C-alpha cells in the first residue's frame, strides 16, 4: 500500500504539472497587497502605529496561534469572537458589534475565514461601518470555493465582487484592494448527474479578499433614517452599472 501511495502521489504531481494551469482563468483578478500569504505583513506594515486600534472579528484560536497579536508593537488589539477561548478579549456577536464597541473608535477591522459563517453578513458590514473611524480600513479574507465545514454554521461563499457589494459606496466604503487567490482544479464526480460526470470545472479559486477604506458615513433613507440595502443596488444607484445585456440565450447562439 505504501508503494501504491507513492506511485499515486507521483502520478498526481506529474498530471498537475501538465494540466493545472489550463484550469485557471487568467482574467480573474488577484489581490495586489492583501493576500493569503502576506496579509499579516500588510496589516503590520500599514497599521501597527501608536494610537491605532485593530479589531479582529473571529479571533478565537481554532487552527493555530494568532499571528497578528504577537507581532503588534504599537497598535492596540481587540480580539472578538462569539465564543470564549484563547485570544478572545471580547465575547460578542458580530451582528451586534456596535452594542459592545463605541461608534467611530476603530482604525482597522480584520477578519479571516469568518464571513462564510455569518448568518447575515450584510448586517455585520453595517456594524463594521458604525465602529470604524472615517479613513479607517476593513480587511477581509473569506472563501469563494471550499468544502462544507463547521456546519450548520456555513452559510455563504463570496467572490471578490460579492465583498465589494457588501462594502459598497452607499455604506461609505472605497475599495482599495480586492481579488481571488489560491487556484483549485476540480471536476464533477463519477457519481454526479450523468451529463456532468468527469467534466472539469475551470476558474475555481479558494479565497476571496477585500480591503476597503471608510471615506464617509453610511447614507440613510430620509423616511426611516436607517441604512437601506435597497438603496445600495448598483443597478439603481448607477445606471452605467446595469446587468450586462449579453446575448447568451440558445436561440442567439444557433443563428
List the beta strands (DSSP E) in 73-131. Answer: 76-81, 90-91, 106-112
Give the tens place of pLDDT for each residue, 198-209: 999 999 999 999
Give the tens place of pLDDT for each residue, 112-167: 999 999 999 999 999 999 999 999 999 999 999 998 888 898 899 999 999 999 99
Task: Please give the model's pTM, rounded to 2 decimal places.
Answer: 0.88
Strand partners, 181: 207
User: Average pLDDT of 74-86?
Assistant: 95
**Percent of the chain at pLDDT exceeding 70:** 90
pLDDT at 212: 98
Cβ pair 140, 210 in contact under 8 A? yes
Of 146, 214, 130, 145, the C-alpha closest to 174 is 214
User: Average pLDDT of 182-186?
Assistant: 93
pLDDT at 123: 96
Average predicted confidence (pLDDT) for the chain: 89
Distance CA 166, CA 121 (A): 8
Phi, psi of 88 (to 5 degrees): -105, 115
- Under the banding of pLDDT at 50, 70 and 90, the label for residue 101 is very high
pLDDT at 239: 65
- Under the banding of pLDDT at 50, 70 and 90, the label for residue 254 is very low
CA-based end-to-end distance of the chain: 56
Burial of 219 (0-12, 13-18, 19+ CB in 10 A): middle
Give the tens place of pLDDT for each residue, 227-250: 888 888 766 656 666 666 655 554
| Cell numbers representing residue 113 in the block | 475565514
User: Hey, what domains does the chain have and what are their CATH numbers?
Assistant: 32-235 (3.40.50.150)
Higher pLDDT, 65 or 125: 125
Amino acid at each position: 500500500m505504501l508503494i501504491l501511495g507513492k506511485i499515486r502521489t507521483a502520478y498526481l504531481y506529474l498530471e498537475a504539472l501538465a494540466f493545472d494551469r489550463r484550469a485557471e482563468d487568467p482574467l480573474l483578478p488577484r489581490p495586489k497587497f492583501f493576500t493569503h500569504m502576506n496579509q499579516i505583513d500588510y496589516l503590520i506594515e500599514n497599521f501597527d502605529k501608536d494610537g491605532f486600534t485593530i479589531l479582529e472579528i473571529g479571533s478565537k484560536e481554532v487552527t493555530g496561534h494568532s499571528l497578528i497579536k504577537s507581532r503588534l508593537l504599537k497598535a492596540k488589539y481587540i480580539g472578538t469572537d462569539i465564543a470564549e477561548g484563547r485570544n478572545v478579549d471580547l465575547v460578542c456577536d458580530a451582528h451586534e458589534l456596535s452594542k459592545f464597541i463605541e461608534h467611530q473608535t476603530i482604525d482597522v477591522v480584520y477578519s479571516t475565514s469568518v464571513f462564510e459563517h455569518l448568518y447575515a453578513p450584510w448586517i455585520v458590514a453595517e456594524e463594521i461601518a458604525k465602529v470604524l473611524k472615517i479613513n479607517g480600513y476593513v480587511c477581509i479574507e473569506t472563501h469563494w470555493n471550499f468544502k462544507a465545514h463547521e456546519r450548520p454554521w456555513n452559510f455563504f461563499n463570496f467572490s471578490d465582487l460579492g465583498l465589494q457589494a457588501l462594502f459598497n459606496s452607499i455604506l461609505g466604503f472605497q475599495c482599495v484592494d480586492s481579488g481571488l487567490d489560491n487556484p483549485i482544479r476540480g471536476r464533477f464526480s463519477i457519481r454526479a448527474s450523468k451529463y456532468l460526470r468527469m467534466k472539469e470545472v475551470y476558474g475555481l479559486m479558494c479565497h476571496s479578499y477585500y480591503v476597503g477604506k471608510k471615506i464617509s458615513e453610511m447614507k440613510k433613507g430620509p423616511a426611516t433614517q436607517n441604512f437601506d440595502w435597497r438603496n445600495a443596488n448598483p443597478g439603481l444607484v448607477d445606471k452605467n452599472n446595469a446587468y450586462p445585456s449579453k446575448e447568451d440565450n440558445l436561440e442567439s447562439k444557433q443563428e
